[in-house]
Structure 1
């Protein structure tokens, strides 16, 4: 009996040792995976890195997505020599304002970014450096870390303290762990303890990711698992914030956030998918399926030839944002591809090839999709893409946060962008008239742009939506705010976008305009009787309108006018603008075509006989094109198709109806 007890105790000890070894091995594997990802040790991403390196990185950066993209750039010995030689004995750099009070683009974060750069170079080159170089680099890292540990800088924006700084310094601590004293390691853990589990959506993922780094530093397997569970808990549908049923992404309430929080989400989740591969914490098949669907059924729609759709930038209208966010998504797509089945992996590979910068691959991903939970529509053809962004009493149109998007009040009032090359609106924002955002209807005024966060900024209508047959579709919006009402509809075909407006009026004496387009001037502007126009691979045909005005003028502006983190720097550029000036004595209307990917002859010779406008008023907007009738109804009614058919519309909404053609 005594022998059996000893044997049982011996087996118990062996199991405990084995379990501890297994736990230690898992933490070591996750740590190794984290370090490899941090130093970009992935041959499969070499082509993307080569293309990225051909583009000069931004010098003024606030967007966390862009910051993490720039962390992928190869680090040169010249950069490191400059950082170590300009570091003061107290651990500071002369060019950083450590007393900065900005809520966006907070300068002390540059110090944290430099620590990460130094530790990455140290980890990659430590076996190749000369003894004096190695010693100088280590000393610089210790000094720079000591500065942070001693001063403990705090930003007025909570995000930097709880998310941004721990997310930047955490990987640096992992890379430099073997060189840190016990006191330094405890200070590092204190930095990481500024993050705790909580919040929702992407903020929750960021916080849990920082807790994960702390758990790895502490070799705390229980905390590692808890962090993984918190991260994985956001890979679900149907929550108020996060992935929506239409594969868009919401944060800060019911608001489309593809380019801000949503991009961070898909990038982070792709990273963790790769990080946990071949460990006990690997995401489930269902979780992988959701992430792949978010990429292929959501994000795949909004990028054109590597450029991010302006309507999906959200409040982050940073310089080169459309290119940088496009690159960031491709790196995430590659990481996610590693855990896919062959069929999905091939789809993702085609997406990467099609959107790699300077790619000549054909745009074979086509169709029409309305993101009904976000009041957002994308239309793709082999030659061009178009997008419309709206708002309703269900969906917030835009936001102003931390001096980001100071002038974007009208950006969800039916903004219509069309792309052929992809760069049509690249870095145009400093020169914009923000009341002439392409597609919108608003007041023509010199008054300051309203604050997007004020209480009356929401569109006060539920009549906003769209429908599609997969290839073509109609999107509609009743704009109703600030005393202005307008019924707007967009019909997407493979040859053009038909834009209709009706019941345009207000309780103000101010002039109302509808902007058709506003972009950089490229070449001459051709026009025919002020009804047909062609400029920069795009045609415009005005079928019905009041006064139509086209201008080309030298505009001046600066990025800090609408993004507060930038330093003042005046710029100028030639801008083309085409807009309609509406009459005041009665409700106005319009009908016009936008023809992307065309030429002047095509615009001049296009026959519009097959476009049959049935009605365009306050009750309904209806048009027949070929054998399809596109309808935006604002009330229940009967519609005469004028071919012997009559359609009963039982409730307001968007409809695409197949109709019989006249036999004559």
Structure 2
């Protein structure tokens, strides 16, 4: 018997060797099949390790009005209940449509017909996962519903006014559904599916390029085209690189739509997609190279790890995507991406990722050991982390675009990069606050007080017209500075970060206007009474504010009404109510104004009362420079060449505008970063 088996095996081997084309075809088929199976496994969530994240996610009701692709794909991870499927099966109309979807919708964001494709994906996922357990009659009802829904989409030829849906969003949603349901599709349905996928082609830059190539990959798998599969993989991985105008930057931030920080939007999609492909190609001939994997884990650990606190993504990292629950949903998206990357990483890196995931679960009891100060110099963005709190500052310059308004997203965000300062202890301090904000008093910014409409950030003259923006770090401290120049208003703004507080300084604040100028200190939900002392020391919601020098300080706790639609056009009108606390400075008009104040996160009323500000020695706060000595260090921001005078030292000449940290007793620079002057 053994002899017979050996003979048959040898005959088969000789046949394959004598027919290399057959051998190659079989190998290609196996490779495409392997990638296809892996794609399906990742899509349906065959991963025990992610169950803890899924359990946490399932406690948060999914949003009903969604246009952000990151959130849509996050919602696709939710467990699918039989009740949901029964609702879809029982309400589909004979033509394959659903009554509650507006198929004539013309919105450019949150386009309603896309819900139809998301339902198809949900139905096919449920079918694939449960087909062995369902009764024949249940399978028949389910597959008939899927066929109806698919053929409705194929026959209608619906087109959105926003190209992104047609070329990226729709194929990206339906592609996995086609793979899951491929064995049940007729030949005509397969051809129609490929027509949908043909809407995507290689091209563009950054995350758009990755999305398009990912859709081409799905088409290649549907057509069993190994060469196209390899090409799609090459195009996808071509964006895992540094030094391009858009994409991953040298400081581990992410740019899209020009020199614009896009952590929460395109960057988040990039990281989520790349982690998916890292997991998809693992164990195949298309596996990411060690260099590519290293770049992705560096983007995670040197970039994204800085901007998440207790599971909430920093508001300054959201950019235009100020959706309801965006900070939480994007935090979850990041953690799922981190887990996927961890699986293909070296043990030492995997341990760091695991600790990041553990530390950032909502209400985590894991101590925050990831501390320090980082200035993302390519994005005019600073993060400061201590064991108990985090702070962030977002700026803009003539090099870096502050923000954008696209498809009615971010209708009121014009001032969001004018020095916005947020502090976090719990992480939820600004969670879903946007409908109630005074958008001219975003925490930290200096601007006009006015009732006129908020300007459009896409206007040609909306940029900050100064190169004097930057920051520098020394050990666990740092200084960040911004010279604001736009709308005929000018101001020098600086932030000094320590383990206990943020020292905020402003100088040479003036404008060619009679309008009142204000500097917002904070604006957040009201939580309990506001304690104050001599109108100079305040305490509210775990945070203290100490005014060291200013014209007039005003605090207000008021009942506010607002709606999401006011600044995010995709939402339906709905008036909401809440109570807001606001503290801000009103500046004099007759002379250039200035201010100095402290923000003390994670503190108590008693500590604010007892705080001794005498060790903070301000030596300059004028047109040319801002300088302050704290302990043994002198933090300096310079806007024009000048001398810094430190008692007991010879004058320190600083000829280049920038941020500097000097050892006060030795008169030596310990950190220096001239501003990147745009020529």
> Could you say whether these structures have the same fold, taking a TM-score greater than 0.5 normalized by the shorter chain as the test?
yes
Q: Does 1:438 find its partner at 2:438?
A: no
Q: Does 1:152 find its partner at 2:182?
A: no
User: Residue 646 of structure 1 corresponds to which residue in structure 2?
Assistant: 651
User: Residue 512 of structure 2 corresponds to which residue in structure 1?
Assistant: 507
Aligned pair partner of 2:296 in 291, 294, 297: 291
Q: Does 1:88 find its partner at 2:117?
A: no
Instruction: Return the alpha-carbon distance in structure 2 between the equivalents of residues 10 and 558 of structure 1.
Output: 71
Q: Give runs of aligned pairs for residues 93-492 of structure 1, distance below 5 A.
A: 93-492=98-497
Instruction: Return the alpha-carbon distance in structure 2 between the equivalents of residues 13 and 110 of structure 1.
Output: 53
Note the C-alpha offset of 1:659.
2.1
Instruction: Return the alpha-carbon distance in structure 2 between the equivalents of residues 172 and 193 of structure 1.
Output: 15
User: Residue 633 of structure 1 corresponds to which residue in structure 2?
Assistant: 638
Aligned pair partner of 2:502 in 497, 522, 525: 497
Structure 2 CA distance for partners of 1:470 and 1:189, relative to 1, 3 Å: farther
User: Residue 677 of structure 2 corresponds to which residue in structure 1?
Assistant: none
User: Residue 35 of structure 2 corresponds to which residue in structure 1?
Assistant: 30
Q: Deviations over 1:366-414 (max 9, x none)?
A: 0000000000000000000000000000000000000000000000000
Alpha carbons 1:643, 1:661 under 8 Å: kept: no
Note the C-alpha offset of 1:90.
0.1
Alpha carbons 2:16, 2:22 under 8 Å: kept: no
Alpha carbons 1:307, 1:326 under 8 Å: kept: yes
Alpha carbons 1:627, 1:661 under 8 Å: kept: no
User: Residue 42 of structure 1 corresponds to which residue in structure 2?
Assistant: 47
Instruction: Return the alpha-carbon distance in structure 2 between the equivalents of residues 582 and 488 of structure 1.
Output: 14
Q: Does 1:619 find its partner at 2:587?
A: no
Aligned pair partner of 1:526 in 495, 514, 531: 531
Note the C-alpha offset of 1:650.
2.1
Structure 2 CA distance for partners of 1:10 and 1:77, relative to 1, 3 Å: closer
* TM-score normalised by structure 2 residue count: 0.96
Instruction: Return the alpha-carbon distance in structure 2 between the equivalents of residues 363 and 560 of structure 1.
Output: 36
Alpha carbons 1:389, 1:412 under 8 Å: kept: yes
User: Residue 565 of structure 1 corresponds to which residue in structure 2?
Assistant: 570
User: Residue 673 of structure 2 corresponds to which residue in structure 1?
Assistant: none
Instruction: Return the alpha-carbon distance in structure 2 between the equivalents of residues 231 and 204 of structure 1.
Output: 7
Note the C-alpha offset of 1:11.
7.1
Instruction: Return the alpha-carbon distance in structure 2 between the equivalents of residues 329 and 643 of structure 1.
Output: 50
Q: Secondary structure at the match of 1:550?
A: strand
Alpha carbons 2:16, 2:23 under 8 Å: kept: no
Instruction: Return the alpha-carbon distance in structure 1 between the equivalents of residues 18 and 321 of structure 2.
Output: 56
User: Residue 670 of structure 2 corresponds to which residue in structure 1?
Assistant: none
Structure 2 CA distance for partners of 1:54 and 1:10, relative to 1, 3 Å: closer
Q: Deviations over 1:462-509 (max 9, x none)?
A: 000000014100000000000000000000000000000000000000
Q: Secondary structure at the match of 1:455?
A: coil
User: Residue 539 of structure 1 corresponds to which residue in structure 2?
Assistant: 544
Unmatched 5+ stretches in structure 1: 1-8
**Would you say how many aligned residue pairs link Structure 1 and Structure 2?**
655
Note the C-alpha offset of 1:358.
2.5
User: Residue 53 of structure 1 corresponds to which residue in structure 2?
Assistant: 58
Alpha carbons 2:398, 2:466 under 8 Å: kept: yes
Instruction: Return the alpha-carbon distance in structure 2 between the equivalents of residues 449 and 388 of structure 1.
Output: 21
Q: Where in structure 1 do 4 or more consecutive aligned residues deviate above 6 Å?
A: 9-12
Unmatched 5+ stretches in structure 2: 1-13, 668-679
Note the C-alpha offset of 1:16.
2.3
Note the C-alpha offset of 1:357.
1.8
Q: Deviations over 1:266-315 (max 9, x none)?
A: 00000000000111111110000100100000000000000010000010
Q: Deviations over 1:521-549 (max 9, x none)?
A: 00110000000000000000000000100
Alpha carbons 1:444, 1:511 under 8 Å: kept: yes
Note the C-alpha offset of 1:661.
7.7
Instruction: Return the alpha-carbon distance in structure 1 between the equivalents of residues 457 and 271 of structure 2.
Output: 27
Note the C-alpha offset of 1:644.
3.0
Q: Does 1:605 find its partner at 2:610?
A: yes
Q: Does 1:590 find its partner at 2:595?
A: yes
Alpha carbons 1:369, 1:470 under 8 Å: kept: no
Instruction: Return the alpha-carbon distance in structure 2 between the equivalents of residues 506 and 111 of structure 1.
Output: 52
Alpha carbons 1:379, 1:385 under 8 Å: kept: yes
Q: Deviations over 1:26-65 (max 9, x none)?
A: 1111111110111111000000000000110001101100
Instruction: Return the alpha-carbon distance in structure 1 between the equivalents of residues 602 and 666 of structure 2.
Output: 29
Instruction: Return the alpha-carbon distance in structure 1 between the equivalents of residues 438 and 169 of structure 2.
Output: 33
Instruction: Return the alpha-carbon distance in structure 1 between the equivalents of residues 338 and 312 of structure 2.
Output: 15
Instruction: Return the alpha-carbon distance in structure 2 between the equivalents of residues 65 and 45 of structure 1.
Output: 17
Aligned pair partner of 1:77 in 78, 82, 94: 82
Instruction: Return the alpha-carbon distance in structure 1 between the equivalents of residues 112 and 16 of structure 2.
Output: 57
Instruction: Return the alpha-carbon distance in structure 2 between the equivalents of residues 346 and 646 of structure 1.
Output: 48
The farther-off stretch of 294-303 and 628-637 is 628-637
User: Residue 9 of structure 2 corresponds to which residue in structure 1?
Assistant: none
Please provide the CA RMSD for this pair: 1.2
